[in-house]
Chains A and B, each alone.
Chain A
Amino acid sequence: MRKIILFLIVGILFSSPCSKAVILGKDLPAIHGFWEADYGYRIGRDTTKRDDYNLLEQRLQLKSRYYPKSFLADWNSEFFFRGDWTVDEYFSGKTDFDVREMNFSFTPNDFMDVKLGRQILTWGTGDYLFINDMFPKDYVSFFAGRDDEYLKQPSDAVKFSFYPKIASIDFVVISRFEPNTHAEGDRLSFFDSFQQGIAGTNSDRDLLEPPHQMSNSEYALRIYRNLGRNEAALYYFHGFDKSPRSYKNELARQLYYERVDIYGASIRGPFFSGIGNAEAGYVNSRDDHNGSNRLIENSMFKALVGYSKDLGNDLRVGFQYYYEQKLDYDNYRNNLLPTDYFWDQYRHLVTNRITKLFKNQTVMLSLFTFYSPSDRDGYFRPSISYDVTDHLKAILGANVPWGNDEITEFGQMKKNKNVYMRVRYSF
């Protein structure tokens, strides 16, 4: 409780208009951010947990930027910092400090930008679906009910952007591998093949990250340009799967992140008085090129198409269809052992987003739905938010994953259904 009060005080302190100057002096950079309290109450039955909450935290996010003088000023350079201080009551009041972004950007000449340091990276055309965006994501935040911004995790990277006339180019070098954050059993239960079912805190698998070596650097490339009113892009990624889908050592319960190369393309533009998009990618599983190793993820083809439309009166809808196919499925199936869990060759997924605003756009009703006819599972994400003032926002929402099986993407999350509330004060 004392921590909450402390956060409140700090939040209020920073929010008053004169405080910045008083505390920091006139020439120092301005500080903005928010204070937020998140509460998520589990409504799914989960006997592996003693607690009924799966989200119980406060956070203070501060962001600031600084423009250096001297020759760096001619380079339009900027230091940027954004970090979260959290008190996680779920883990007995554990405090944490998470640097979301800390980077230096500059423009050494007209046709080039550089961004160096910790940064959030996003590209591609999907809505909550990613094919060519291989930058790390936090699915624990996503399923627990944190703000959308926490779906994206930072990368420690250098991004070079080039702007020749013919097309724009982004080239990202990631020196330190950062995996996706997935359910591990404590906050969220999930399917653990070693436990032969949905596991909670009993999960004891070991996830092996690639060692920090020069040869394990990841590279991501995007080349994009406008074609008429459409935006077209080509993608290449060389690195590791961001989710631990392959087995290193079954007896030791070790999983690892297999090497992948991804080649992809996307297009987005006006379509039937809305916006249409399409994206595809070929994933080459380099450690298992012909797919015959039952322990390593198969090579895959992934594609999605989407359409969104403004129906008027602040009502918007969007639809997506996503397709995934394992490419060396016969080799994979032929090498399975009788006791193995195995994955289907095809996955079909449809999504729907519907958003409606009320009361001078201060109230937002939103529902995002995933449904997979092939996996027979799905996930509802309803929410209602209200801007109480320009600074204060309250959100009530729910996470409702469901499924017939325990092994599928959403089915394995079915014990994590929750209702959450967030209150955010921005300054």
Chain B
Amino acid sequence: MFRKISSVFILCLFLLSIPAYSADLTVGRIVDKANKVAYYEGNDGMAEVNMEITDSQGRKRIRELTILRRDVQDGGEQKFYVYFYKPEDVRDMVYMVWKHLGKDDDRWLYLPALDLVRRIASSDKRSSFVGSHFVYEDVSGRGIDEDTHELTGEENGCYKIKNVPKNKDNVEFSYYYIWIRKDNFMPVKAEYYDSQGKKYRVIEALKVENIQGYPTITEMKASDLNTGGSTVITYNKIQYDINLDDNIFTERFLRRPPLKWIKRK
């Protein structure tokens, strides 16, 4: 269970996107802009997250959580506070992440029944995010320096970019394509291929809405083509620039959630 929660991360990263200029750009600029659009917008934000995990036999499991996010520096470090409502056996647990660049993140888990603040070692970013078909990196972002990027064409108003990992040892894919919208640099689809060149995994934006002036992905889906399982994430009650206090992301608020933001039921 700890591990289940431990891979939780930052879904609201996909939430925002800033309109950008369409011009002749190098692939490096496109990837860099898309990374910023997908993972660094606003100073902070919150969302209620609902995940529906469907396994290969069609059985469904639900995850429900609230995420608070605060950027320490735009394009740099970020802090996340994740409060669980479902499933019931993890209700009221809190997961906190201080995301760093170029080194492992700091992660904590608070278990209320034991009043225990546990520090979590998490170096595998390709493991499942709360038992879903999203992996940690899908939602927290994959370092753009970890792949080589090649612009292979344009489709439906998107740049199509092929990404090959520089180090194949710690990833399960051999390469992946990503589609980035030309008008606002929002990444809207990714397809992963194995070493035989077979497509086995797809992530796609299902719904985009305008929230506080930001086009925002409010529904997205990850599909495992090998097993037939999939996960749909829906974001509700999204708010940006809510002036979250930096103190919220400390042990004090792990043990005693900020009631202003976390409506415990």
Q: Which residue of B lies closest to A393 (CB)?
A: B89
Whether B119 contacts A310 by the Cβ 8 Å rule is: no
Write the residues of chain A forming the contact surface with B, with a CB cutoff of 8 angstroms: 30, 32, 34, 65, 67, 76, 78, 82, 100, 105, 107, 113, 115, 119-123, 148-149, 151-152, 161, 163, 168, 224, 229, 231, 268-270, 273-275, 277, 308-314, 316, 355, 357, 360-362, 364, 385, 387, 389-391, 393, 424, 426-427
B121-144: CB near A (< 8 Å → 1, else 0) gives 111101110111000000000000
B166 within 8 Å of A (CB atoms): no
Task: Tell me the complex Cα distance, A178–B90, Å.
Answer: 28
Whether B61 contacts A364 by the Cβ 8 Å rule is: no
B91 within 8 Å of A (CB atoms): yes
Question: Which of A113, A121, A357, A426 contacts B256, CB < 8 Å?
Answer: A113
Q: Count contacts between A and B, CB distance < 8 Å.
A: 122
Task: Tell me the complex Cα distance, A122–B169, Å.
Answer: 40
Query: How far, in Å, is A136 (CB) from chain B's closest CB?
Result: 12
Q: Which residue of A lies closest to B107 (CB)?
A: A275
In the bound complex, residues from chain A placing their C-beta under 8 Å from that of B229 are 360
In the bound complex, residues from chain B placing their C-beta under 8 Å from that of A270 are 103-104, 106
B101 within 8 Å of A (CB atoms): no
Whether A312 contacts B115 by the Cβ 8 Å rule is: no
Query: How far, in Å, is B114 (CB) from chain A's closest CB?
Result: 5
Instruction: Name the interface size band of chain B.
Output: 35 or more
B168 within 8 Å of A (CB atoms): no
Between A and B, 25 residue pairs with Cβ closer than 8 Å are A30-B265, A65-B264, A100-B113, A120-B115, A148-B114, A151-B114, A152-B113, A152-B115, A270-B104, A275-B121, A309-B121, A312-B123, A314-B124, A357-B3, A360-B128, A361-B3, A361-B128, A362-B61, A362-B131, A387-B61, A390-B61, A390-B62, A390-B87, A426-B91, A427-B88
In the bound complex, residues from chain A placing their C-beta under 8 Å from that of B126 are 312
- Mostly, the A contact residues are strand
In the bound complex, residues from chain A placing their C-beta under 8 Å from that of B115 are 119-122, 152
Q: Which residue of B lies closest to A82 (CB)?
A: B113
B252 within 8 Å of A (CB atoms): yes
In the bound complex, residues from chain A placing their C-beta under 8 Å from that of B238 are none
